[in-house]
Every structure is written in C-alpha cells, then in structure tokens.
C-alpha cells in the first residue's frame, strides 16, 4: 500500500541495533512519499542515536521496555501517550507481541504491520512478510507497493555532525598516518555468530603482512576480546572498542578500505558508510536477509553443513558442541576473499 497524504506518521522499531539501521531506508521512502509529514520513531534506548541521526526523523520517542516501561501498566501509559499525539498512521516493522500491543492500546485507527507479526489482527493493513527478500526490501514493502529490486540504491542515510567528524578525525590522526585502514569487528551478542578469535588473529596478521592498519571496533563488551586479538597481531593494530559512539563508528568506517565483520550490526554500519564489507556467517546464513547489499560487498561461510543454520539469531553455544560452521571456515579462505574485494574496489 502507498502511505500518502498523512500528516503525522509513527514508526515503531524496538528490535536490535542492526534492525534499526535497516529501518532507515524505509524512513527515507516515507519522507519522499510524504514530504510535508512529521515522521516520529518509537525505539529502545540503545537505538536512539541511530534515529536521531536520520535526516528524515522529526522526533525519537524512547520506549525503555527493560526498565522504565517494563510491565503492563507502563505499556498502557506509553500507549496512551501515543494516542494523545494523534498520529494518522502507525507503521510497525517489528513483529513482536509488545509492538502489537502498543499499536492496539494506542487506539490509532490506521496501522500497518506484517502478517507474521504476533497478534497481527490488530493491524488495519497487513503486508506479507517475505522470507526471500532482504530486510530493507521487506521494510519498504510496508509503505510502498513498488518493487525495490535494486536495493543498492537504498542505503541507510545518517547525518554526521561537525563534532562527530572532529572526534573521529582527531583520534585517527593520532594513531596512524596510513590510508590503508581496514576495520575488523570480531564481536556479536550471540556466541555462535562469532568467527573464532584465533582465526581473526590469523586474518589480522595476514593483512598486517601487507601493511594494512587494523582497527578493531566494537562496543564496551568487545574491549577484552579485541585486546586479546591485538596482543597477537604483528603489525599496526588498534583496539578502538568503546572509543566511539554508533554514529562516530559509521563515520570512522568511511575512512576504511574494508570492514570485516560477523553477521551482526557492524555489517549494516558498513552499508551506512557505503564501503566494501565482508560478512562472515557462522551459524546463520545470508538467506535470512541481513547480508551486505551495496554492490561492493560479499559474504562468506563454510561449505554446506547439515546443521546450518541452527537458528535465526544464534546461540550462546553450539547446539551440537562442535561449532563446525566457524571452525571449518579457515582464515586463508577469508583472506582470499578479502583480496578479491580489495582488488575489485
């Protein structure tokens, strides 16, 4: 359906960080369709910075489902606040029960959601959730009937403030004068999505031998992991985990020749930066629709395994206790793919 002639639009996206980044192209389409509309976003605290940086978002409403807004009473109160804002339409890319309840209790008559959403009957307009599409295309299908087959033209857009650029440029200028920067993001919330640490060490050393400067990125949760990798790299390697905000990290990536990452949020940061990305798939697969899609990037995974994929998000430990999806993808294969990408770009 075309979402046209709407004065106030609300998008609810309370999923993971990567999902938030992949919602940005849909917001751009909404803005194109409704150039005079106010577009607000409801999201969790971890994602606020992403939506504040979107040039298409008017206001970000924080829904802290783990703390302040935990429980039924808080959910009802938050829904009441949405109702008082008198939105013309709610669009919900997130398929969770909590999102559907927010839509239900906000009593906003016009709404759009997926047929695979929990409690989908609350939505006035229901759109098929197509498993064979990239997440960006799925999100766009909520607001447009147009087929966006060439999604490489729909990259996430963010605004970089002068402060963001100055902060990143200052740190980069202090640590290296080289222009041969490659970012590596070895972390993930899910253990079975993480390429083995010792393999990342080999990849970093292979790149260092060719005089590339390695920038290990991640959140505060990756500081220790990155430090362990850095300590074994023979060459210029810097642990930048927790040094930058989300948007600063995206700007940092614009300075890099390549990003190597697990199937995690940094893949989508690389799309916002529009740089070549190599995404390593361990327990998950590109067919889930979260692969890098800007035409400069690729993914890599071990040869077909009967146990793969074992889950859409991954697990804390391998269900079969062998982790072949990570261990059977050897560093020399990853380095060969990196060479191919760098030569092409």
Is residue 75's pLDDT more than 90? Answer: yes
Between CA 288 and CA 309 the distance in angstroms is 10
pLDDT score for 5? 52
First to last CA, the chain: 38
Token pair recorded at residue 339: 């060479």
Is residue 7's pLDDT more than 60? Answer: yes
pLDDT score for 68? 87
Is residue 6's pLDDT more than 90? Answer: no
Token pair recorded at residue 261: 């990452």
Domains annotated on the chain, with CATH: 8-142 (3.40.50.2000), 162-344 (3.40.50.2000)
Is residue 2's pLDDT more than 80? Answer: no
Q: What is the pLDDT of residues 249-296, one digit of tens each?
A: 999 999 999 999 999 999 999 999 999 999 999 999 999 999 999 999
Between CA 323 and CA 196 the distance in angstroms is 9
Helices (H), 129-196: 135-141, 162-175
Bridge pairing between strands 38-43 and 213-216: unpaired
Is residue 143's pLDDT more than 70? Answer: yes
Task: Decide: 83 and 62 in contact? Cβ < 8 Å.
Answer: no
Looking at every residue in the chain, the average pLDDT score rounds to 94
Is residue 301's pLDDT more than 70? Answer: yes
According to DSSP, residue 121 is labeled: G
Token pair recorded at residue 345: 């770009």
What mean pLDDT do residues 195-205 have?
98
pTM: 0.94
pLDDT score for 294? 97
pLDDT score for 82? 96
Q: What is the pLDDT of residues 99-142, one digit of tens each?
A: 999 999 999 999 999 999 999 999 999 999 999 899 999 999 99
The C-alpha angle with vertex 23 and arms to 17 and 27, in degrees rounded to 5, equals 140
pLDDT score for 28? 96
């Amino acid at each position: 359906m075309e979402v046209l002639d709407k004065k106030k639009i609300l998008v609810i996206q309370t999923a993971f960080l990567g999902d938030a980044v992949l919602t940005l192209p849909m917001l751009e389409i909404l803005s194109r369709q409704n150039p005079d509309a106010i577009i607000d976003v409801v999201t969790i605290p971890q994602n606020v910075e992403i939506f504040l940086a979107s040039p298409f978002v008017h206001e970000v409403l924080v829904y802290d489902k783990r703390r302040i807004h935990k429980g039924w009473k808080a959910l009802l109160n938050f829904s009441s606040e949405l109702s008082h804002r008198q939105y013309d339409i709610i669009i919900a890319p997130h398929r969770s029960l909590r999102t559907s309840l927010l839509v239900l209790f906000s009593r906003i008559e016009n709404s759009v959601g997926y047929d695979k959403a929990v409690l989908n009957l609350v939505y006035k307009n229901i759109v098929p959730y197509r498993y064979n599409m990239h997440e960006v295309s799925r999100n766009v299908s909520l607001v447009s009937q147009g087929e966006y087959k060439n999604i490489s033209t729909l990259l996430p857009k963010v605004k970089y403030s002068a402060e963001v650029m100055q902060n990143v440029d200052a740190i980069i200028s202090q640590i290296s004068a080289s222009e041969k920067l490659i970012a590596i993001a070895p972390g993930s919330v899910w253990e079975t999505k993480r390429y083995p640490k010792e393999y990342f060490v080999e990849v970093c050393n292979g790149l260092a031998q060719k005089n590339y400067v390695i920038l290990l990125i991640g959140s505060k949760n990756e500081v220790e992991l990155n430090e362990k990798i850095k300590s074994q790299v023979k060459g210029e390697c810097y642990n930048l985990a927790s040094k930058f905000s989300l948007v600063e990290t995206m700007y940092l990536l614009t300075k890099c020749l390549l990003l190597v990452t697990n199937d995690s949020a940094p893949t989508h940061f690389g799309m916002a930066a529009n740089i070549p990305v190599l995404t390593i798939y361990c327990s998950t697969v590109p067919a889930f629709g979260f692969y890098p899609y800007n035409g400069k990037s690729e993914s890599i995974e071990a040869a077909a395994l009967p146990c793969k994929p074992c889950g859409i998000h991954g697990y804390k430990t391998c269900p079969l206790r062998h982790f072949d999806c990570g261990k059977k993808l050897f560093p020399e294969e990853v380095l060969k793919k990196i060479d191919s990408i760098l030569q092409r770009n």
